[in-house]
Amino acid sequence: MKKRVFSILLIFSAVCLLFAVDASAAEVKFSRDTVNLYALQTYRLSFTKAVSDIEFVSSDEKIVSVDNEGVVTAITSGKAEIYAVSGTKVRATCTVNVISGNAPSSVELNSQSITLDEGKTHKLKATIMPEDTSDKSVYYSSSNEKVAKVDKNGKITAVKAGVAVITVESSSSAISNKCVVKVLSKSDKTNTKVDIDGVLYSIAGEKKAKMKVVLRNSVESVSALTDENGKFYFEDVLSGAYKMYVYNDEKSTKVVCSASVTVFTYNMNISCIINDDDLVVLYKEEKVSTDKIKDITLDKTAIEIDTGDTYDMSFTVRPANAGTPSLRAVSSNTDVATVDADCRITAVSGGKATITFSTLDGKISKKCVVRVNETNSNQYSLLIVIAEMAVLAVIFIAFWVKYKKFMKVKEEQEERETKENERNRENNAK
């Protein structure tokens, strides 16, 4: 009786295990059920979870081929199924449509970096280029749906604090673009969102219309197009340090000029002036917080660096909660040392220069003496001269050896000719 019970339990366990394996097999899925490709395009298939011992099979290799790594290659127009096979079982299926027409070249996004509070949403707009692309549909996915999820229409929902990357693929899946989403916790949010009104001018005072202005840092990127009066507007920008870039137009990828910008904790008005390759940003309101800056302390008031080296100057303010001001930096001798808008000092040539850092209103200024050590160019020049002389000496010796050999051969030839002439005279005399 005990043996019979044991046998029944053993059979029952095996049946349960078999069903468990089958259930597990049914759970395996490709990340995408359908993929559209243009001829000669490729796409790597992936699964919703890690799997092993999988082989890939195409239902029609004349239309679509697939290698052992799951890389699909479109060959000609048509449709084929790609199967993930384990043993004799089909674990997952993906339909690949190979379409004809104009293939897309890029995916353009209205935002490539955004910051959202928990629970907030953002509509990500994707545009397939060029405009005559046959299929302009896109596919959205999130690298971490526990932080931010995205629906089929590009609506991003912030779930909890963290960072997620939203990938936008064209339906052809051969090209894509990404948007970095930073989600801020409601309880830990320390940044303040403000609005910025700005005007863009040339150095001659001309209002620059239809130019693209971009504010960007490690967590956020926003852009705006200037109107006919050179005005632009940013809404709900997080306070902090940014880089501002100016482009010729909305589609241009070449930066005309740039500058460092500090976004304070209140709505701002700024004027931006293009001066050749430089961008000068003027703040119409000089306060940086509710507490006025009383003093600035540079981390060094004197530095010594070698030609070609750089030094990033940092500073602290008093009181500590007065905020971070923008400083205007000027070098007394740009032939010796220069300084840019980010307070980076660059050694140009040997000598001494004084860098003056001051607030935009000029009420507070600090100086740093820069001594630049000239690299030992004289030594290098002497080595070059010695090397050149050595080369000339080698050339001269080689020439002299060749000349001596030539002269010896010539003398021997003349001696032979003389002896030959003497013999000829003797023979004629006889």
Cβ density class 300-315: b for 16+ within 10 Å, e for less:
eeebebebeeebebeb
> What is the sign of the dihedral through the CA atoms of 123, 124, 128 and 134?
negative
> How would you class 92 by CB atoms within 10 Å of its CB: exposed for 0-12, middle for 13-18, buried for 19 or more?
buried
Amino acid at site 308: G
Q: Exposed, middle or buried, 163 (CB in 10 Å: 0-12/13-18/19+)?
A: middle
Rounded-to-integer distance, Cα 430 and Cα 415, Å = 23
Q: Which distant-in-sequence residues (6+ apart) come within 8 Å of 126 by Cβ? A: 107, 108, 109, 138, 140, 154, 168, 177
d(CA 36, CA 29): 18
pTM of the model: 0.37
For residue 20, the model assigns a pLDDT of 44
For position 188, what pLDDT does the model report? 46
Q: For the ranges 14-18, 241-245, 384-388, which has the lowest average pLDDT?
A: 14-18
How far apart (Å, rounded) are the C-alpha atoms in residues 41 and 43? 7
pLDDT at 393: 87
> In the block, which residue shows the tokens 């097999």?
25
Residue 320: pLDDT band with limits 50, 70, 90: low
Stretch 4-25: mean pLDDT, rounded? 44
Pairing assessment for the beta strands 34-38 and 89-99 based on DSSP bridges: parallel
Considering only CA atoms, which of 127, 89, 99 is closest in space to residue 41?
99
Mean pLDDT of all residues belonging to the chain: 81
Contact predicate 99/37, CB 8 Å:
yes
Task: Name the pLDDT band for 364 (thresholds 50, 70, 90).
Answer: confident
> Which among 272, 249, 281, 255 is positioned nearest to 202, based on CA atoms?
272
H/E run at residue 423: helix 377-429
Amino acid 37 reads L
Query: What would the two tokens of residue 103 be?
Result: 């293939």
Which band of pLDDT confidence, cut at 50, 70 and 90, is reported for residue 381? low
pLDDT band at 173 (very low <50, low <70, confident <90, very high): low
Identify the CA nearest to 192 among candidates 119, 98, 273, 290: 290
- For residue range 391-427, what is the model confidence (pLDDT) as tens digits? 888 888 988 888 888 888 888 888 888 888 888 777 7
Q: Are strands 176-184 and 34-38 parallel, antiparallel or unpaired?
A: unpaired
Name the pLDDT band for 347 (thresholds 50, 70, 90): confident
Q: Which residues contact 5 (CB under 8 A, 6 or more apart)?
A: none
DSSP letter at 322? G
Most confident of 62-66, 97-101, 293-297: 62-66
Residue keyed to tokens 């050149």: 388
Kindly give the pairing relationship between strand 212-216 and strand 221-225: antiparallel
Q: Are 350 and 305 in contact (CB under 8 A)?
A: no
Cα Rg, the chain, nearest whole Å: 37
pLDDT at 324 over 70: no
pLDDT confidence band for 18 (50 / 70 / 90): very low
Tell me what pLDDT residue 325 has.
65
- Under the banding of pLDDT at 50, 70 and 90, the label for residue 32 is confident
Residue 412 burial (C-beta neighbours within 10 Å; 0-12, 13-18, 19+): exposed
130 vs 247, residue with greater confidence? 247
Distance from C-alpha of 92 to C-alpha of 26, rounded to nearest angstrom: 8
Cα–Cα distance between 178 and 251 in angstroms, integer? 18
Determine contact, residues 72/46, Cβ cutoff 8 Å.
no
* Nearest to 195, CA basis, from 285, 328, 322: 285
With tokens 């995205």, the residue in question is 150
Please give the residue that has the higher pLDDT: either 1 or 183.
Answer: 183
The residue ranges of DSSP E strands in 131-229, in sequence order, are 138-142, 148-150, 155-158, 162-170, 176-184, 193-202, 212-216, 221-225
Answer for the pair 86, 77: CB distance below 8 angstroms, yes or no.
Answer: no
% of the chain residues with pLDDT over 90: 24
